[in-house]
Amino acid sequence: MHLAYPAVLSALLFAIGVYGLLARRNAILILMSVELMLNAVNLNLVAFDVWLSTTLRDTLHGGQALTLFTIALAAAEIGIGLAIVLLVHRNRGSSDIDRLRDTAETDDDEAAAAEAALADDEAGTAIPYDSPAKKAEAAR
């Protein structure tokens, strides 16, 4: 088997995965692109392992063992990633990456209110917060 065929296919899959990672806005499609890149790496590992076993008479098959480790890592990554995406979609109503970044930024009004609260706290004119535990003690 020629080593060039799987190497070119692996490079093509990895390039498609990088394009999907950079161009997509949906978190699910970004996770799929990462999976595509990991599969390209797996293909490369197995191809080079087969090539080394035929040329150097290597019987350890380290590339295939590393491929199994990468598959387990990819399964864990997709499980955690999907859980995070579902939680974000449930809370925000969208899994669009741009909308998630926009919600993390504060507006000017909120920033001004936070600065005013900080100035009141430093001046000692802020109204103290009574916790529910303090209110329960006062009621006894």
Q: What is the pLDDT of residues 67-85, one digit of tens each?
A: 999 999 999 999 999 999 9
Question: CA 63, CA 51: separation in Å to the nearest integer?
Answer: 10
Q: Could you tell me the pLDDT band of residue 106, with boundaries at 50, 70 and 90?
A: low
State residue 21's pLDDT score: 94
Residue 64 has pLDDT above 70, yes or no: yes
> CA nearest 22: which of 8, 10, 11, 36?
36
- Residue 32's identity, in one-letter code, is M
Confidence label for 99 from pLDDT (cuts 50, 70 and 90): confident
pLDDT confidence of residue 41? 96
Residue carrying structure tokens 């190497």? 7
Q: How confident is the model at residue 4 (pLDDT cuts 50, 70, 90)?
A: very high
Residue 26 pairs in a beta bridge with 96
Residue ranges of E strands in the chain: none
Cα angle for residues 45, 80, 11 (degrees, 5° grid): 25
Which contacts (CB < 8 Å, 24+ apart) does range 125-134 have? none
- Count CA within 13 A, CB hemisphere, residue 35: 15
pTM higher than 0.75 for the full model?
no
**How does the average pLDDT of the chain come out, rounded?**
83
Lowest mean pLDDT among 48-52, 61-65, 118-122: 118-122
**Widest CA span in the chain:** 84
Cα separation of 38 and 19, whole Å? 14
Res. 102: pLDDT tops 90: no
